[in-house]
Amino acid sequence: MSAGRNEVSSLSSGEAGERIAALTHEIAEHDARYHGEDAPTISDADYDDLRAQLRKLEEAFPDLVEPDSPSKKVGSAPAGRFPKIAHRIPMLSLDNAFSDEDVAEFVGRVKRFLKISPDAPLAFTAEPKIDGLSLALRYEDGKLVHAVTRGDGAVGEDVTANARTISDIPDTLSGSSVPEVVEVRGEVYLGKQDFAALNARMEAEGKPTYVNPRNTAAGSLRQLDAAITAERPLRYFAYAWGDMSEVPRDGQLAMVELLAEWDFATNPLATRLETVEALIDHYRKIEEQRAALDYDIDGVVYKVDNLALQRRLGFVSRSPRWAIAHKFPAEIATSVLEAIEIQIGRTGALSPVARLTPITVGGVVVSNATLHNEDYIAGIGSDGQPIREGRDLRVGDTVSIYRAGDVIPKVLDVDLSKRPDGSEPFVFPETCPACDSAAVRDVNEKTGKLDSVRRCTGGLICPVQAIEKLKHFVSRNAFDIDGFGEKQAEAFHEWGLVTNPAEIFTLQQRDGKEGHPALVERDGYGETSVSRLFSAIDARRTIALHRFIYALGIRHIGEGNAKLLARHYGTIEALMQAAQDARGFADAAWDDLTDIDGIGETAARALVQFFEEPHNRSVVDELLASVTVEPVEQAASDSPVAGKTLVFTGSLEQMTRDEAKAMAERLGAKVSGSVSGKTDLVVAGPGAGSKLKKAAELGVETLDEDGWFKLVGRG
């Protein structure tokens, strides 16, 4: 649920910082899955809601905005499989409009910025928003030299060889007025009919079918073998430009028409309009045609047509002021709820899943949908108020399904007129289906309300949690053991060979013993593969502290928090001792833990509770008997700020906040996110607000950036 204005205003600075950190981490993970892995796990609508929550919090607490906030970023870093190319002009994303009122506000905002009368006409282009993969094409002297994906907006991947296989992308530009340097931007996509034919072929060959056209197009373009890309019928719509030695025409639509003259495919539904009413009317017409189009779209893009006005309007953070995407609402279809099943996640969360009579929604066959949690099934919102007019969901119900952003299906509503006689309310289990341990809903200490998620208390004795924790432990950003992935984690657990992470490192000495056949005797394993596996395990017997912390799978401790904890405590022993000393949640050790910049109370409490559990400590102790955890390199101890607690606030001009923080830590200082009686020094840039005021009240020394550099001998 979005953070409402009243809810945001009631937050303390510490609570807001904690929520911003959590949202930042979650958005970054989704960016990586969508832009870097072409495998989104959240709908566009839910993703947009996360960004809206972050934006509201940052507007209310501007001193908490970090330089690397997702609100200032586009996409995610390139995945590393292709050479990297920097965009000479960043490839930014667009702000979104979700209602007619949002469109009217956008037009009004543009006119106010340009000091144009509200009643004066202003021309905009309106064009369908293609749901594909953004691609920039650079031509020099009319010849294609590079094709680069969006990447993180600043740097993308060089997929030139693959792009040359797409028939809509010319190798040589033809026509008049071709500048010396031309960068064309557009969208790679897969037509609906071509997608259906591809899946039919895959099914006939007994191979897995693809989920949706967007991900298939993205995966096809990013194949390491261009011959595979050539087998996929990819298409390309050109709609914009980047770096140009000259821009031959003065209007957005006129430039798109020029792209067509240069032999690019452009969208025939693009048009030029002058009023809000005309924009919305065109949006409605395109929405009506959506199902009949042979390509997926998820909205309509409006752009100020006059290029001189575009230059005047400029950009804000990650998007242009002169353009906006008017998103379509989710597509809806009807199906029958055949069963409700409970799945168990790594953290013990019991997640209900709807099993549906298969139905096509947005061109994809849907047979499963998320049901969120037990309150959602009962028809109760996260605010405790009824949803769906208080109607619950029952097996046998006829339900409406939507795929917001054409990604994750969700159950929207139930048709009570079609409810079968004798149906019973669904009873959510209070014990874990996998291990029969109690499944409980914790009480949120801040709000006094029950958490929405019910969790198994079985921990590592729960087989499902144990398997998921093993998968996490060997994942890429944790121990990353070559040849020991998710399939091996499932198999070894099923065979009884590895039931917890520590047993990975004793696998070789136990091989063929304890009543288990040797690995070489099992299907899929030979002497060479077994030898390689054991060597890969041995290669991970020494590991960096932050990777070790992350691998433990502690709730609320992701990669970012793991790095913060590692940097602060330096050794695994110091971290474990700190967690033990902070068990009272109210003493000096607790204050030291929660004073770490970026570590909120929720994450701190989860860390303490993890090490408080005897079976967790036992597994960690077993791990430490087999694994060497490298300490973090010690910071300088002879600097003028060694041992002091610092706070950076305001808009730093000579360094980013991360650079400042890293510098301070190298010099032996601790960096905190809030000013308190323990703060020794505040470094304030322009725009510093509440933190600077509090420092004055507490008599804490303050410096500007020049003073900081002079203090540490860098001036």
Q: DSSP secondary-structure letter at 36?
A: I
Nearest Cα to Cα of residue 533 among 567, 563, 503, 508: 508
Residue 404's pLDDT band, with cuts at 50, 70 and 90, is: low
CA dihedral sign of residues 357, 360, 365, 369: negative
Query: How many independent structural domains does the chain possess?
Result: 6
316 and 407 housed in the same domain: no
73 Cβ contact list (under 8 Å, min separation 6):
31, 152, 153, 318
254 Cβ contact list (under 8 Å, min separation 6):
none
161 and 309 housed in the same domain: yes
CA distances from 688 to 149, 648, 693 (A): 38, 9, 8
228 and 153 housed in the same domain: yes
Helix (H) / strand (E) element for 44: namely helix 44-60
212 and 306 housed in the same domain: yes
Q: Residue 302's pLDDT is what?
A: 97
Question: pLDDT (tens digit, 9 = 90+) per residue, 590-631?
Answer: 988 988 877 888 889 889 988 888 878 888 999 999 999 999
Residue 639 lies in a domain: no
Q: DSSP secondary-structure letter at 218?
A: H
Nearest Cα to Cα of residue 103 among 372, 328, 258, 335: 328
199 and 287 housed in the same domain: yes
Flag whether pLDDT at 6 surpasses 60: no
Q: Residue 71's pLDDT is what?
A: 63
249 and 317 housed in the same domain: yes
Flag whether pLDDT at 304 surpasses 80: yes
Residue 584 lies in a domain: yes
CA dihedral sign of residues 412, 416, 421, 425: positive
Residue 669: which CATH number? 3.40.50.10190
Q: Residue 8's pLDDT is what?
A: 66
- Determine contact, residues 196/190, Cβ cutoff 8 Å: no
Last residue of a domain, one of 280, 305, 327: 327
- In sequence order, the β-bridge partners of residue 370 are 353, 410
Domain containing 172: what range?
Answer: 96-327
Residue 218 lies in a domain: yes
The span from the CA of 626 to the CA of 543, in Å, is: 11
251 and 383 housed in the same domain: no
Residues labelled catalytic: 129
Reduce the secondary structure of 375-415 to three states and give it as a string: HHHHCECCCCCECHHHCCCCCCCEEEEEEHHHCCEEEEEEC
288 and 153 housed in the same domain: yes
686 Cβ contact list (under 8 Å, min separation 6):
650, 651, 653
Question: pLDDT (tens digit, 9 = 90+) per residue, 536-577?
Answer: 999 999 999 999 999 998 888 888 889 889 988 989 999 999
Cβ neighbour number for residue 114 with a 10 Å cutoff = 16
586 and 485 housed in the same domain: no
Q: Compute CA 214 distance to the chain's CA centroid, rounded to the nearest angstrom.
A: 17
The span from the CA of 559 to the CA of 551, in Å, is: 9
269 and 131 housed in the same domain: yes
Question: pLDDT (tens digit, 9 = 90+) per residue, 407-457?
Answer: 578 888 898 889 999 999 999 999 999 888 888 887 766 667 778 889 887
345 and 468 housed in the same domain: no
- In sequence order, the β-bridge partners of residue 353 are 341, 370
Residue 227 lies in a domain: yes
Residue 504: which CATH number? 1.10.150.20
Strand locations in 106-258, DSSP E? 124-130, 133-140, 143-149, 155-157, 181-190, 234-241
- For helices 213-221 and 192-204, angle between their N-to-C axes, nearest 10 degrees: 80
Question: pLDDT (tens digit, 9 = 90+) per residue, 187-204?
Answer: 999 998 898 888 888 888
Last residue of a domain, one of 457, 473, 493: 457
pTM confidence score: 0.46
Strand locations in 247-348, DSSP E? 271-273, 297-304, 315-316, 319-320, 323-327, 331-344
Residue 636 lies in a domain: no
The span from the CA of 154 to the CA of 89, in Å, is: 8
Residue 30: which CATH number? 1.10.287.610
Residue 90 lies in a domain: no
Q: Residue 691's pLDDT is what?
A: 87
Nearest Cα to Cα of residue 344 among 463, 258, 493, 195: 463
Question: pLDDT (tens digit, 9 = 90+) per residue, 508-533?
Answer: 999 988 888 989 998 888 899 999 99
Q: Find the Cα–Cα–Cα–Cα dihedral 425, 430, 435, 441, rounded to 10°.
A: 130
For the chain, report the end-to-end CA distance as a whole number of angstroms: 47
Residue 86 lies in a domain: no
The span from the CA of 250 to the CA of 694, in Å, is: 52
The span from the CA of 406 to the CA of 44, in Å, is: 8
Question: pLDDT (tens digit, 9 = 90+) per residue, 220-233?
Answer: 888 888 888 888 89
Strand locations in 141-219, DSSP E? 143-149, 155-157, 181-190
Flag whether pLDDT at 1 surpasses 70: no
Last residue of a domain, one of 457, 474, 489: 457
463 and 453 housed in the same domain: no
Cβ neighbour number for residue 433 with a 10 Å cutoff = 15
Residue 85 lies in a domain: no
The span from the CA of 270 to the CA of 349, in Å, is: 46
